[in-house]
Structure 1
């Protein structure tokens, strides 16, 4: 089995560990070594039966291991990009993890470092970039493009030919009309109904979604969309 390290020890990282167990139940694939977290207070802890081994820099030292970065929240949805930029690992070091209960069409593609959780559907010719997080019960329909480091929270649904920009966050239960664009680093609030393009670095929410304020999340230096795939 291939050694695997999960960067992060919060909710998303714990869900990813359970994904790994589910994959191994079907076909032994991964040797889950443990979590890595930059909070020293977590070092030595055991989270859902998985140890926290140390800081994220251990991912660089363990050259034999594949890595997946599982951090981020609506409050800071660009943390994955910052960690990946700091680690400087080549794309080949990053695992791509898909839950056995996800449905991924044969014409869809998923980039390195991306995580697709249970009950997600990618219907036809969906493109996920690198380090994309797709939470449970997300529906991505034909020709959707989700760029590097974007997050789709649980239950989000995208109609056809939607583009989600790098580092953007689409909140839980949000609906996005066909052919629209969610700009890089934008945030769409939970339960929103998006009927217009959302510009980069803005926060939109509501039914229909409307502009609330500029986004204040830090925008890290990292390669342009597609450069990591």
Structure 2
């Protein structure tokens, strides 16, 4: 057993706790900046204290925060903690499949049913929700969120901090720009510039992000 502390105590954090336990980690609990949670339990695990307390704990760390309304939060916390890469766990559910030549960075979580077919590169602190499929030669940069049921065609690129909503389909060879957001169920046939919000079938730009 390897000791693990999870930053955050929301839904993704609890899903990661279940995946980590299945993968052989000993999850010590959560840390969260909401003082109302301190001393309580979530999914039968304790909330140990604030986020900064991980620096005093002898355990690996994974940051599991963020949602479509604030999907840059994970990157902000990683930068705030400023921990060495060796402190971060890579959590891969036993029901995920990693094909030959695929690489996954520290701090990344692959939940159950995720498939990386062949020669896929996934960066650091990436969140991949259940049943996402990344096909040959895809490249996913740091701090990306890939929601459940997303499909990436071959040789697609997702730049740092982007968010792909549930069920989004990304055509082969397409690039999703840094911090862009793709709405759930969208079919992306063309490159998306950095910081833009796209949705629909076929996906079209809705607006630039305000922050």
On whether the aligned pair clears a TM of 0.5, the verdict is yes
Aligned mates of 2:173, 2:141 — CA distance in 1:
15
Aligned mates of 1:41, 1:216 — CA distance in 2:
30
For 2:124, the equivalent position in structure 1 comes to: 130
Q: CA deviation at 1:106?
A: 2.6
Computed over aligned residues only, the root mean square deviation of the Cα atoms, in angstroms, reads 0.7
Does 1:16 pair with 2:16?
A: yes
Aligned mates of 2:163, 2:178 — CA distance in 1:
9
TM-score when normalising by structure 1: 0.91
Larger RCO (CA under 8 A, 6+ residues apart): 1
Aligned mates of 1:207, 1:2 — CA distance in 2:
44
Q: CA deviation at 1:60?
A: 1.0
State which of 91, 95, 103 in structure 1 corresponds to 2:89: 95
Aligned mates of 2:203, 2:130 — CA distance in 1:
22
For 1:190, the equivalent position in structure 2 comes to: 184
For 2:44, the equivalent position in structure 1 comes to: 49
Aligned mates of 1:113, 1:41 — CA distance in 2:
26
Runs of 4+ in 1 over 6 A off after TM superposition: none
Q: CA deviation at 1:21?
A: 1.9
Does 1:165 pair with 2:159?
A: yes
Alignment of 1:21-170 (within 5 A): 21-24=21-24, 30-62=25-57, 64-170=58-164
Aligned mates of 2:20, 2:178 — CA distance in 1:
29
Aligned mates of 1:43, 1:67 — CA distance in 2:
18
Q: CA deviation at 1:56?
A: 0.7
For 2:204, the equivalent position in structure 1 comes to: 210
TM-score when normalising by structure 2: 0.98
Q: CA deviation at 1:107?
A: 0.8
- The alignment of Structure 1 onto Structure 2 pairs a total of residues equal to 211
Does 1:4 pair with 2:13?
A: no
Which 5+ residue runs of structure 1 have no aligned equivalent? 25-29, 218-229
Aligned mates of 2:166, 2:40 — CA distance in 1:
29
